[in-house]
Structure 1
Amino acid sequence: MSITADMIRGHTDTIILRQLIEKDSYGYEINKAVQEKTGNQYELKEATLYTAFRRLEQAGLILSYWGDETTGARRRYYTITEEGRAQYQAAVAEWARTKDLIDKLIL
């Protein structure tokens, strides 16, 4: 059974921030990690991912820089800022409150 995008919509930024807490990364690697963690039940569409990167960077939650690969195409890496870490923690707390409320309403 696959996870519908509607159930995850609105959490893309938090998912990306979570991946960047572990380490600096680039789009393909982040999407690959999401797929692996979900057993290939969910993936971020390329357009969604890069739109989120722009939004997060404009908000000061992440920064980008070019990698120094010697082979293949240069990659744009992303790193989380302190503001991004704080936003991630706030989003996780909000998710816990929301999940608790939904559980009360439907379970």
Structure 2
Amino acid sequence: MISADAIRGYVDLMLLALLRQAPSYAYELAQQISAVTGADYTIKQTTLYSAVKRLEGLGFVTSFPGASDSGKPRTYYQITETGQTHLDQKIVEWHDTKAVVDRFVEGISS
């Protein structure tokens, strides 16, 4: 199980990557995260809602009303063009970060 501290800086990347696929609502996003991670990471609802609200405040996602199959109202989120640009930058940053950390994990060569 991955700790929340270890993954905290990448929640936005994960959410934007999911929303790049299609608009979604919070519960579905949480389910998708669990499915993709194989339950190695489970996002808390408070973390999820805080993240989508922050992303919305930054203009990276927008929200719109929708309904579930049962007719229950839901708030859907979708990535914006600005959000896609931000995601592209975060993906590059992730690859750079991973490369640096891998140097230490795999051993420092002299």
Shift of 1:70: 6.5
Listed one character per residue, the Cα deviations across residues 54-96 of structure 1 (whole Å, up to 9, x for unaligned) are 1100100000000044634201000000000010010010010
Q: Are residues 32 and 70 of structure 1, via their aligned partners in 2, closer, same or farther at CA, if it must alter by over 3 Å?
A: closer
Identify unmatched segments of 5+ residues in structure 2: none
1:37 matched to 2:36? The reply is: yes
Shift of 1:43: 1.4
Partner residue in 1 for 2:27: 28
1:51 matched to 2:53? The reply is: no
Report percent identity of matched pairs: 38
Shift of 1:5: 1.4
Q: Distance in 2 between matches of 1:57 and 1:28?
A: 17
**TM-score, normalization by structure 2:** 0.91
Partner residue in 1 for 2:12: 13
RMSD: 1.2
Equivalenced residue count is: 106
Q: Are residues 57 and 100 of structure 1, via their aligned partners in 2, closer, same or farther at CA, if it must alter by over 3 Å?
A: same
Once the two structures are overlaid, the 10-residue window that deviates more, 20-29 or 40-49, is: 40-49
Divergent runs of 4+, >2 A: 68-73
Q: Distance in 1 between matches of 2:58 and 2:76?
A: 17
Partner residue in 2 for 1:85: 84
Larger Rg: 2
Q: Are residues 90 and 52 of structure 1, via their aligned partners in 2, closer, same or farther at CA, if it must alter by over 3 Å?
A: same
Q: Distance in 2 between matches of 1:17 and 1:103?
A: 24
Q: Distance in 2 between matches of 1:26 and 1:68?
A: 10
Identify unmatched segments of 5+ residues in structure 1: none
Q: Distance in 2 between matches of 1:94 and 1:83?
A: 17
Partner residue in 1 for 2:62: 63
Q: Distance in 2 between matches of 1:35 and 1:68?
A: 23
